């Protein structure tokens, strides 16, 4: 294995949702907080996506740090001080998880990273969504480009740890990436951004703070989940 190449790389695992009834030992990988959250979902689709995303996160991070997946402990301290913020694995790499439709994804990188995927679909409220997502300097996107814009900006916001609690309209995108980012929480250093292609009918993007990785690799998350069941 080329260790130096791996150190510069970001890796993304894509997988399908897994219903808890079919998950075998995957539920056992979750901690008490995660299992309680899993049980609170009313829709089967939400439970399946949550289980796959969080079990996959534990499996890929366990391989990265050399500890059993079920024993990983996350700090979820929010800016308000409560334990409902973006999870951080102390001493581990940066990571981000996402899901939409029939797809879940996990990204891992040495630095802060954000991953977003959206399922392309008809939008009946495109003008309102565009007003929310576009900066004053950006033209309103057409239906075909809206999900590209959205995934790019959500990935950037996830990389900062703010997520959609910060306004997308504070970010202006150009052909080469971010051209302007204003307001509280805007990064003071460089950011990087790349589009991903997880499959037909989906748009995705990965972003991070700091130096751009030399490579963004894609791995089979379904195989990893199957091995752990």
pLDDT of amino acid 84: 67
143, 49: one domain = no
User: In this predicted model, what pLDDT tens digit does every residue of 105-159 receive, in sequence order?
Assistant: 999 999 999 999 999 999 999 999 999 999 999 998 999 899 999 999 999 999 9
What range does the domain containing 128 cover? 112-209
Contact 97/54 with Cβ under 8 angstroms? yes
Structure-model confidence comparison of residues 63 and 90, the more confident one: 63
9, 98: one domain = yes
94, 13: one domain = yes
CA-wise closest residue to 97 among 78, 122, 77, 74? 74
88, 180: one domain = no
pLDDT of amino acid 162: 74
145, 57: one domain = no
220, 128: one domain = no
**How many angstroms separate the first and last alpha carbons of the chain?**
26
CA-wise closest residue to 30 among 57, 67, 60? 57
Structure-model confidence comparison of residues 166 and 53, the more confident one: 53
33, 119: one domain = no
Q: How many domains does the chain have?
A: 2
pLDDT of amino acid 7: 52
- Cα separation, 87 vs 34, in Å, equals 11
> Whole-model pTM?
0.92
Answer yes or no: is pLDDT of 185 > 70: yes
- Cα separation, 104 vs 92, in Å, equals 21
pLDDT band at 1 (very low <50, low <70, confident <90, very high): very low
185, 229: one domain = no
Whichever domain contains 181, its CATH number is 3.90.470.20
2, 95: one domain = yes
Answer yes or no: is pLDDT of 2 > 60: no
2, 104: one domain = yes
Answer yes or no: is pLDDT of 211 > 90: no
Tell how strand 216-220 and strand 10-15 pair up: parallel
164, 203: one domain = yes
């Amino acid at each position: 294995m080329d260790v130096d190449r791996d150190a510069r790389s970001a890796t993304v695992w894509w997988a399908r949702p897994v219903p808890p009834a079919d998950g075998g030992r995957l539920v056992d990988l979750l901690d008490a907080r995660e299992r309680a959250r899993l049980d609170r979902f009313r829709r089967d689709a939400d439970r399946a996506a949550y289980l796959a995303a969080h079990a996959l996160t534990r499996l890929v991070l366990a391989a990265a740090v050399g500890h059993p997946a079920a024993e990983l402990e996350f700090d979820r301290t929010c800016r308000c001080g409560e334990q409902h913020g973006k999870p951080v694995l102390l001493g581990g790499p940066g990571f981000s998880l996402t899901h939409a439709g029939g797809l879940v994804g996990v990204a891992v990188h040495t630095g802060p990273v954000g991953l977003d995927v959206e399922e392309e679909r008809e939008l009946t409220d495109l003008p309102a969504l565009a007003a929310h997502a576009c900066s004053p300097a950006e033209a309103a996107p057409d239906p075909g480009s809206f999900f590209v814009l959205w995934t790019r900006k959500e990935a950037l916001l996830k990389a900062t740890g703010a997520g959609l609690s910060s306004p997308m309209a504070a970010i202006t995108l150009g052909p080469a990436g971010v051209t302007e980012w204003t307001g509280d929480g805007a990064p003071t250093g460089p950011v990087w951004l790349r589009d991903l292609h997880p499959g037909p009918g989906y748009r995705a993007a990965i972003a991070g703070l700091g130096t751009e990785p030399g490579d963004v690799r894609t791995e089979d998350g379904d195989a990893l989940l199957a091995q752990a069941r």
